[in-house]
Amino acid sequence: MSAIYLPEDRYFNPACKEVALHLYGQVKHLPLVCPHGHVDPRLFSDPNYQFGTPTELFIIPDHYIFRMLYAQGIALEDLGVPRADGGPVEQDHRKIWQIFADNFYLFRGTPTGSWLNYSFYNVFAVQEKLTGDSAQAIYDQIADQLARPSFRPRALFDQFNVEVLTTTDAATDSLEHHRAIQESGWSGRILPTFRPDAVVNLDAPGWRQNLQALGERVGKAITSYKTFIEALENRRAFFRSMGATATDHAALTPYTTELNDQEAETIFQRALRGEASPDDAARFTGHMLMQMARMSVEDGLVMQLHVGSFRNHNSQMFERFGVDKGADIPVQTEYTRNLLPLLNRYGTDPRFSLILFTLDETSYGRELAPLAGHYPAVRLGPPWWFYDSLNGMAYFFDKVMETAGIYNTAGFNDDTRAFMSIPARHDVWRRAAANWVASLQVRGMIDMDDAEAMIHDLAYGLAKKAYKFA
Amino acid sequence: MSAIYLPEDRYFNPACKEVALHLYGQVKHLPLVCPHGHVDPRLFSDPNYQFGTPTELFIIPDHYIFRMLYAQGIALEDLGVPRADGGPVEQDHRKIWQIFADNFYLFRGTPTGSWLNYSFYNVFAVQEKLTGDSAQAIYDQIADQLARPSFRPRALFDQFNVEVLTTTDAATDSLEHHRAIQESGWSGRILPTFRPDAVVNLDAPGWRQNLQALGERVGKAITSYKTFIEALENRRAFFRSMGATATDHAALTPYTTELNDQEAETIFQRALRGEASPDDAARFTGHMLMQMARMSVEDGLVMQLHVGSFRNHNSQMFERFGVDKGADIPVQTEYTRNLLPLLNRYGTDPRFSLILFTLDETSYGRELAPLAGHYPAVRLGPPWWFYDSLNGMAYFFDKVMETAGIYNTAGFNDDTRAFMSIPARHDVWRRAAANWVASLQVRGMIDMDDAEAMIHDLAYGLAKKAYKFA
Amino acid sequence: MSAIYLPEDRYFNPACKEVALHLYGQVKHLPLVCPHGHVDPRLFSDPNYQFGTPTELFIIPDHYIFRMLYAQGIALEDLGVPRADGGPVEQDHRKIWQIFADNFYLFRGTPTGSWLNYSFYNVFAVQEKLTGDSAQAIYDQIADQLARPSFRPRALFDQFNVEVLTTTDAATDSLEHHRAIQESGWSGRILPTFRPDAVVNLDAPGWRQNLQALGERVGKAITSYKTFIEALENRRAFFRSMGATATDHAALTPYTTELNDQEAETIFQRALRGEASPDDAARFTGHMLMQMARMSVEDGLVMQLHVGSFRNHNSQMFERFGVDKGADIPVQTEYTRNLLPLLNRYGTDPRFSLILFTLDETSYGRELAPLAGHYPAVRLGPPWWFYDSLNGMAYFFDKVMETAGIYNTAGFNDDTRAFMSIPARHDVWRRAAANWVASLQVRGMIDMDDAEAMIHDLAYGLAKKAYKFA
């Protein structure tokens, strides 16, 4: 038997390990600030929510995990991933777990592997390394614990020391679960985030149905661009009343442009008739990003922009299993010219705050750090998705910080739907940040006072400030 | 006199040297698997092949070397590089060697410099550093050894411990040297690779002559797209019968598209008349990549794609000296959108295997690792050409492995026409891989069992599996 | 009170510190060669020039500094930056200095922060770290010293051990200050550089006025493309007679193209009438780069090309404060195809020398190193602007040197208008270079003899040779 290998001084470069451990020690017990993520609020609205089997918890819903097995030729059906048509998939969760364990070596040296080991060891007290041989015993051990009250989400929320956790919610969402949480008297702080992509992007699947749902939500049919804008303003006000401090927007590119009301109305009417062209959709999204910035100036919601993912690249998989199945592939992304209209209009407004994310690391030093190091409104979000990793973070620090300084960045966010992985992800960030700050300190670039101030801000303060958590 | 400096612990970071040496020690004597390269099969079909002078061996045919001298203003004529028109060039090989030695300092800190030093020291037992002063003595020493039977290619093949070596061969090649090797009873495994660029790319120099040669080879004039496809299928079958396990394809971009038969025929007929436009050529190449994938699904040959080189950038040099003279310059390369048609059609087929190479490192983390970490058919080839270097490998490991994992990569290939450099190149890879795995181990990301499994796969197992060498 | 932290072994990786210190020790006292920069020659033409207040010296003219404060919401008016309309801005220099000191923490871990600390400590003997508390005392200390004769520019020039310093001067510049310096009998070597962007780029602000000024300078109205070319040749000859060894050219892209005389004349005439289109301007600039190369072949001036900056991105700031206010943002830049016409025409001419700079690091390994490692005329300039930093240099060494070798690079230039920062910037380069060479040495890639030769060339020899300083 082999033990899970998680030495206390992990992820630190030997050359600065002593200082890194010192800095990490200063922040490892700080509360977790989680300003952007995808955890389902139902976990917390139902005080007795249970996670199901280990396979339901770790494998079936997590595309970080099953895409790696799929890449080696294992069918998603054999991993229990639900089909879009409801057709049969593997139902034996022990069998799925065995496949996962047999192939756990695929995650050697990957962030997913380290998150899993952290969760097994620190949350479930699993000592043994997951292999084909240890698979069923570990399944038993995790299943046994998941049945206990101490493994219900609210209990884990406290154990994980989460100070605030935000969800991501459609513009049409009732936020009933957030309301239930607030009314339950439980002290956990779970806040919504306004994400209107499904109604703002004319080419979103089911756009007209989404629009109808939005109309129902605001009690007024949306028949024009003008009523559309009013509905969005209405919903933003509702989200704010429910505690939201931010919005989030996804697009293939950060293209922005300003249409006049008549142009916007014309495109909107074409879309209502189902006649919008791809160019209409791109221009309308670019225009709506400007509108969202305008509304943020007015209502103070922090605007987040996540761009550069070519969604559902594998059409066979999309047809069979739907969205978010590990088939989204990044594309090169241009910010300097694309954001020019938006930044010229709102980038210097003291009421505006824009947090940028990228899947194109080449833009860090070339475009994003210079933009964040100039415009008062711009902050850079942490490494996203594939770059939420040790190397991704090290590269981010090296490429961004010299130009932007740390104070034009927005700290960390875990951006996960896997609640169980949250402590592991923050721990990687805190260690990576401690390692980076220590590498500056041991090379004589900053003194220890600055190092201690920086690690505190990176681990805790910057996220809290950027997202306006009082 | 200065000695050649090749310490046994070279290329390892001091911070993980002990572990790196341990891991390197586990693989340094493993056989060399050489699944992609450009060594001339004549070296092995003639049991008495001799390499000629040191200058003929090291300088005249090697654009890695003479381009560096050329960049400092030394004429290729003075280095004995043959002119396209057969005009006079320097014939005194000792004089050329002296120029090379006088300027050997240009290679300080370069991979070419380290390959040369490795070959001098390990193959020819040269102890002294190459300088203007030591030039002629070293020339003598190398020339003396080249005359010995132990320095004939077959003997070196055994001494280098090559398990299998593949060549790269035109679709029209008779493979007579491969046949001669097989019939000679020599045990060395030299396999062909099917590379049909010269007939598939309509803008290849001499396309119509190439097509005529193809027709002669298959015994049927190629007058239509249909007969063209049949001829390619015929040749692939022949290559397979000669032991080929892979094909190779070069293009400026990885653009793929599917033409219907009539479109393909129309373009093909225009090309036969010499009337194909650049756009025709680009679309036809994009279509033929799809056809090659289709044939790979059917016949099981692994498909390699090498893209992104702008060939013969220096037109004066091209006119005077021809192709492959160190004047090929990379261009930015896009994969996510370009490969969409091919991957949607064949990327999930369990019979298909596609190995991708790039000269644009920005695509590693952004596009290639996500593609390889998703599509069952895709594997990533090692750092290519300018990136076949310590930094190139370190960057590849850092950018690719967190997302793709090592098991979606294809190990190493030396991709060289310089047979003498093969052990040096594999040694750099094995050391770079050992250093990378050790850096994970000493930072607590993997235990030693995983580290040992990973170095074995990186040094040996992955290449063998990816290229289907039984 | 905290002391400024500048340990003698700063910026070196612990793993190679001993060797790095040895190498750095060999070059730290070498004279400074400053082949490209923006220091005002008036500093040296007037033997009694004084720098003004600490705020005038360090803050008001330096966009590296005030853009970081601006990015955090501090108005440029409050920092005393002059408005284009001459409107009121803060005049109390102590108050501005206090704001700067209160926010000095923003520069933690940035190159600007390290240059400032170096200047405070080494030039002004400030011991205490700049904070809100220490602000006024440090202001007093610097102001006191600035009043002394030993802090006049000529005295500092000697103290800084500058061997040669070049300025950057418009084609229309009289070079009267350079003449005054030469005629003063002072031994300092201050040379002009010919920078004709304002007349060559048709879309330059005030192009027609600039052209008129050029005509006046050469004593002949410029009414045609032909007279324009003659005027430029005339001015280049004048610059050469004043000691210039180089020209400098800025453009958004490195696009080059060759127009015939009639096309060039047609566009030029349109521009004279104020009717040139953006496309005209782009093509004319591309053509003029070819003309500048042609003139360099004829007169031997080294041609520098600085491309990739999108100027004055923030239009509100541009209208209020004008150019060079920290609002220039880089864009992605393509070299392989753009430079093809120029390099095919002049790239192999032994009389031509072209030094390339980039703001797009992705081009280092992919395009620039292969170009410099092939074309005899091409050399790579050092990391520029945002990349004039420890990480920028480390990345440059790692991406460029394996392919180009150090001998196809042009050493360092400080590219600064902040005279006081020159020693600090060279010191960072020398330390970064020593660290890189040491990292090769301790990893067994080069012996100590090579290491010592390389650090000398990087710190001193390469710049001197590339810019033809005898």
Contact list, A405 vs chain C (CB under 8 Å): 68, 106-110
Q: Which residues of B touch A5 (CB under 8 A)?
A: 444, 446-447
Split chain B (470 residues) into runs of 10 and give each run's mean pLDDT: 94 97 98 98 96 97 97 98 97 98 98 98 98 98 98 98 98 98 97 98 94 97 97 98 98 97 98 96 98 98 98 96 96 98 98 98 98 98 98 98 98 97 98 98 98 98 96
**B-C C-beta contacts closer than 8 Å:** 131
Choosing from C128, C151, C174, the residue where a domain stops is C151
In a shared domain, residues C321 and C347: yes
Q: Rounded to an integer, what distance in angstroms lies between the CA atom of residue B158 and that of residue B155?
A: 5
- Report how far residue C320's alpha carbon sits from residue C317's, in angstroms, rounded to the nearest whole number: 5
Of the candidates A15, A372, A399, the beta carbon closest to that of C13 is on A15
A105 in any annotated domain: yes
Determine the pLDDT at residue C397: 98
Does a structural domain hold residue C43?
yes
Cβ contact, residue pair A405, C107, below 8 Å: yes
Residue C450 lies in a domain: yes
Give all chains having 3 or more CB-to-CB distances under 8 Å with chain C: A, B
Q: Which of A324, A332, A357 is most worth mutating to test chain B (most B CB atoms within 10 A of its CB)?
A: A332
Which residues make Cβ contacts (< 8 Å) with residue C385, sequence separation at least 6? C309, C359, C415
CA distance C253 to chain B (A): 15
State percent of chain C over pLDDT 90.
99
What percent of chain C has a predicted confidence (pLDDT) above 70?
100
Task: Evaluate whether B313 touches A280 at the Cβ level (below 8 Å).
Answer: no
Instruction: Residue B388: give the domain boundaries.
Output: 14-51+152-466
Q: pLDDT tens digits, residue range C25-54?
A: 999 999 999 999 999 999 999 999 999 999
With an 8 Å Cβ cutoff, are C71 and A375 in contact? yes
Q: Chains with ≥3 Cβ pairs under 8 A against B?
A: A, C
Distance CA A395, CA B362 (A): 13
Counting every residue, how long is chain B?
Answer: 470
State the smallest CA–CA distance between residue B411 and chain A in angstroms. 15
The Cα–Cα gap between B440 and B447 comes to 9
> Do the Cβ atoms of C405 and B326 come closer than 8 Å?
no
Domain end among A126, A150, A174: A150
- Domain-terminating residue out of C102, C120, C151: C151
The SS3 assignment for B380 reads: strand
Does C185 lie in the same domain as C128?
no
Yes or no, beta carbons of C16 and B15 under 8 Å apart: no
Classify burial at A148, counting beta carbons within 10 Å of its beta carbon; exposed 0-12, middle 13-18, buried 19 or more.
exposed
What count of other Cβ atoms lies within 10 Å of the Cβ of residue A186?
A: 16
CATH of the domain at C221: 3.20.20.140
Q: Report the distance separating Cα A321 and Cα A61, nearest Å.
A: 12
Q: Residue B157 in contact with residue B163, Cβ under 8 Å?
A: no
Same domain, C212 and C78: no
Q: How many CB pairs under 8 A join A and C?
A: 131
Structure confidence at residue C470 (pLDDT): 80
Q: Using CB atoms, which residue from C72, C107, C114 is nearest to A376?
A: C72
Is C71 close to A365, i.e. CB distance below 8 A?
no
Number of H helices, E strands in chain B: 22, 11
pLDDT in tens, C83-105: 999 999 999 999 999 999 999 99
Best to test chain A binding among B352, B374, B398 (most A CBs inside 10 Å): B374
How many residue pairs bridge chain A and chain B with CB atoms within 8 Å of each other?
Answer: 132
CB A307 within 8 A of CB A252: yes
Segment C305-350, tens digit of pLDDT: 999 999 999 999 999 999 999 999 999 999 999 999 999 999 999 9
CA distances from B111 to B81, B265, B415 (A): 22, 46, 14
Report the alpha-carbon distance of residue B119 to residue C220 in Å, rounded: 65
Assess whether B117 and B176 both reside in one domain: no
The answer to whether the CB of A82 falls within 8 A of the CB of A62 is: no
Instruction: Check pLDDT > 80 for residue C63.
Output: yes
Are C10 and A399 a contacting pair at CB < 8 A?
no
Cβ(B440)–Cβ(B420) under 8 Å? no
Q: Are C435 and C13 in contact (CB under 8 A)?
A: yes
pLDDT digits (tens, 9 = 90+) for B320-371: 999 999 999 999 999 999 999 999 999 999 999 999 999 999 999 999 999 9
Which residues in chain B are closer than 8 Å to C405, comparing Cβ atoms?
68, 106-110
Residue numbers in C near B11 (CB within 8 A)? 443-445
* E strands, A158-288, in order: 162-166, 169-170, 190-191, 194-195, 246-251
**Pick from C72, C64, C74, C310: which is nearest to A353 by CA?**
C72
Q: Which residues of C touch A344 (CB under 8 A)?
A: 314-316
**B225 Cα distance to chain centroid:** 30
Residue A135 to chain B, least CA–CA distance (Å): 17
| Residue appearing with tokens 């070959």 | B119
pLDDT, average across residues C169-191: 97
Q: Is residue A5 part of a domain?
A: no
How many other CB atoms are there within 10 angstroms of residue C452's CB atom?
A: 17
Put simply, the answer to whether A406 touches C70 (Cβ < 8 Å) is no
Of C366, C372, C405, the CB nearest to B332: C366
Write the DSSP assignment of C243-276 as a string of letters: T--EEEEEESS-------HHHHHHHHHHHHTT--
Q: Are residues C379 and C448 in the same domain?
A: yes
| ∠ CA C217-C219-C224, rounded to 5° | 95
Tokens of A17: 């390990």
Please give the Cα distance from B201 to B249 (Å, whole number): 10
Flag whether C1 is in a domain: no
Q: Based on the domain organization, do B428 and B328 belong to the same domain?
A: yes
By CA distance, what is A11's nearest residue in B?
B443
Does residue C451 form part of some domain?
yes
Give chain A positions within 8 Å (CB) of B12.
none
What six digits make up the tokens of C463?
């710049």
pTM value is 0.98
8 Å CB contact of B314 and C369: no
Phi, psi of A369 (to 5 degrees): -65, -45
Q: Which of C398, C402, C437 sits opposite B111 (nearest CB)?
A: C402
Q: Is B125 helix (H, G, I), strand (E, B) or coil?
A: coil
- Shortest CA gap C332–chain B (Å): 11
* A222 vs A225: CA distance, rounded Å: 8
The DSSP letter of residue A3 is B
d(CA A364, CA A386): 15
> Are A304 and A400 members of one domain?
yes
Contacts A384 to B, Cβ<8 Å: none
Alpha carbon distances (Å) from C186 to A54, A92, C45, C149, C174:
81, 89, 9, 16, 20
CA distances from C318 to A344, A366, C67, C91, C312 (A): 11, 21, 13, 21, 6
- Cβ-defined contact of A7 to B444 (cutoff 8 Å): yes
* Tally of structural domains, chain C: 2
Phi-psi region of A74 (alpha: psi -120 to 50; beta: other; left: phi over 0): beta
Stated length of chain C:
470
Helices H / strands E in chain C, number of each:
22, 11
| A105 to B408: CB separation less than 8 angstroms, yes or no | no
Query: What's the rounded mean pLDDT across residues C136-145?
Result: 98
Of the candidates C15, C337, C445, the beta carbon closest to that of B11 is on C445
pLDDT score of B127: 97
In a domain, C2, yes or no: no
CB contact under 8 A, A327 and B450: no
pLDDT at A470: 80
- Element of type H or E holding C18: helix C17-27
**Are residues A141 and A159 located together in one domain of the fold?**
no
Contacts of B12 in chain C (CB under 8 A): 443
- Pair (C444, C371) in one structural domain: yes
H-assigned helices in A72-205: 93-102, 111-118, 135-146, 153-159, 176-183, 197-200
Residue B7 lies in a domain: no
B425 lies in the same domain as B415: yes
Between vectors from CA B400 to CA B396 and to CA B406, what angle results, nearest 5°? Answer: 100
What tokens were used for B55?
Answer: 């200058």
Q: Name which of A337, A369, A446 is nearest C108 (Cβ-Cβ).
A: A446
* pLDDT band at C123; cut points 50, 70, 90: very high
Can you give the length of chain A in residues? 470
Residues B361 and B271 in one domain: yes
User: Same structural domain for residues C223 and C356?
Assistant: yes
In b/e form, how buried is each residue of C204-224, taking b as 16+ CB within 10 angstroms? beebeebbebbbebbeeebee
Nearest chain C residue (CA) to A361 = C362
Q: Which helix (H) or strand (E) holds B57?
A: helix B54-58
Per-residue model confidence as pLDDT tens for chain A (470 residues) = 699 999 999 999 999 999 999 999 999 999 999 999 999 999 999 999 999 999 999 999 999 999 999 999 999 999 999 999 999 999 999 999 999 999 999 999 999 999 999 999 999 999 999 999 999 999 999 999 999 999 999 999 999 999 999 999 999 999 999 999 999 999 999 999 999 999 999 999 899 999 999 999 999 999 999 999 999 999 999 999 999 999 999 999 999 999 999 999 999 999 999 999 999 999 999 999 999 999 999 999 999 999 999 999 999 999 999 999 999 999 999 999 999 999 999 999 999 999 999 999 999 999 999 999 999 999 999 999 999 999 999 999 999 999 999 999 999 999 999 999 999 999 999 999 999 999 999 999 999 999 999 999 999 999 999 999 98
pLDDT at B470: 80
Q: Which chains touch A (3 or more CB pairs under 8 A)?
A: B, C
Concatenate the DSSP letters of all residues of C409-450 into one string.
Answer: B-------S-GGGHHHHHHHHHHHHHHHHHHHHHTTSS-HHH
Residue A370, phi then psi, degrees to nearest 5:
-60, -35
State pLDDT tens for residues C374-423.
999 999 999 999 999 999 999 999 999 999 999 999 999 999 999 999 99
Residues of A in contact with C387 (CB under 8 A): 365
Q: Spell out the SS3 assignment of A314-333.
A: CHHHHHHHCCCCCCCEECCC
B396: three-class secondary structure by DSSP: helix
**A324: its two tokens:** 């978010």
CB contact under 8 A, B337 and A310: yes
ipTM of the complex: 0.97
